[in-house]
Amino acid sequence: MRIRHFAYISLMALALSGCNEALETAQVDLSKVKNKVEQPLPSHILAQMSAKGMDRNSPIMIRIFKEEGAMEIWKAKTDNRFDKIADYKICAWSGRLGPKVKTGDRQAPEGFYDLTRANLNPNSKYYLAINTGFPNRYDAANGRTGSDLMIHGACSSSGCYSMTDQQVLEIYAFARDAFKGGQSTVQLQAFPFRMTAENMVKHRLDSNYDFWKMLKVGYDNFEVTKRPPEVNVCEKKYVFNQQATDGGAFNAAGKCPVMSTPPALTAALASYGKTYDADYAKAMSKFDGMAWYDPTEAERKAVVAKLRKGRELAYAPTGTSLEAGRMVKVAELEDLMAKRTAQGLAAKTAPGATPVAPAQPPATAVAAATPAVVPVPMQNPLAFTAPEPQETADATAKKPFWKFWARN
């Protein structure tokens, strides 16, 4: 009995210790932070790094999944593979699933972005901020416009990914330490959802589906290799882990050069794709005649309205699409989208509203879910956002992905 009692007490102590660690992660007393820019990562995260074979200053990668409101930090281990070291619940993001298209659409970016040390903003009015780098080469080539799109604190968003101040304190520290270790660019991967076969089937009727299929290629490359893919843009589309074999260069709006994929990577992606195809067929059978209703920002906010009680007005969590959305019959989805489109047109033509020319009706109501591309390129005016790096001797000396893959 004494042994059993001692074991019970030990287990309770361990459980409480775990709770304390979780609270420490989520609740940092900001009033005791003397220098937010140099605030070290919590000791329990450093211990996890050591256990996973990660150096404190090794490279990182950031992944975002809008639908579930999740942000992940992945970090390189000694074998050069990346492993997840932290994840956070995004406090607020505006708009709906789908990429940012034009200034003022309140959409948060989706795609692949390179963050440099210059993207860190220690003087943000939202505690701390990291510029996402929107628009990138893909966005600019496709005429997408917008600026000042950040990962920041304060839990309030208009096209940004907003965290709590405690969360952004840690995220900023991860990036800072990686840059101190010599990482030149941190890759930010922003997805609408985890690109599983089931999720792709759920969203197959969305007007952004072709764009998401392109992002999925990069998603698959990371899932297979556990290393951030090398990203290029040509013919106004993303290409991943490709080597130009004809001596050509990647031009965002120009023709793609002749490209090749390492044989080992090709085989690994083929095996991954075979499993995916089988899962997709099962999901199609499971969701026959059904599709996902992507909720509005207002619907997401309604789900978490109680969280605002007792807080400042600026605190505006938005909730997740998984909480506010649902699977519906395809006919019901088109009806919902038609009503949403009609409401939007009514708002634009209301007294006092700026008159707009009538738009051509989409092929289906589902296709009206996302605004059309406006081909007016515009540079990001942020003073602290570095221009895209030019080809230099150092850049060309960078160890290519395909050579690493061939060796490993």
Q: What is the dihedral of CA 76, 124, 161, 109, to 10 degrees?
A: -90
* Rounded to 5°, angle at Cα 283 from 281 and 288: 100
**160 counts as catalytic:** yes
- Euclidean distance between the first and the last CA atom of the chain, given in angstroms as a whole number: 53
CA distances to 146, 271, 278 from 274, in Å: 38, 5, 6
Pairing label, strands 70-76, 60-65:
antiparallel
Per-residue three-class SS string for the chain: CHHHHHHHHHHHHHHHHHHHHHHHHHCCCHHHCCCHHHCCCCHHHHHHHHHHCCCCCCCEEEEEECCCCEEEEEEECCCCCEEEEEEEECCEECCCCCCCCCCCCCCCCCEEEEECHHHEECCCCCCCEEECCCCCHHHHHCCCCCCCCEEECCCCCCCCEECCHHHHHHHHHHHHHHHHCCCCCEEEEEECCCCCHHHHHHCCCCCCHHHHHHHHHHHHHHHHHCCCCCEEEECCEEEECCEECCCCCCCCCCCCCCEECCHHHHHHHHHHHHHHHHHHHHHHHHCCCEEEECCCHHHHHHHCHHHHCCCCCCCCCCCCHHHHCEEEEHHHHHHHHHHHHHHHHHHHCCCCCCCCCCCCCCCCHHHHHCCCCCCCCCCCCCCCCCCCCCCCHHHHCCCCHHHHHHHC
CA-nearest of 205, 152, 159 to 175 is: 152
> Among residues 91, 155, 160, 234, which one is catalytic?
160
> Among residues 91, 152, 203, 234, which one is catalytic?
152
**256 counts as catalytic:** no
Number of C-beta neighbours around residue 139 at 10 A: 25
Active site residues: 152, 160
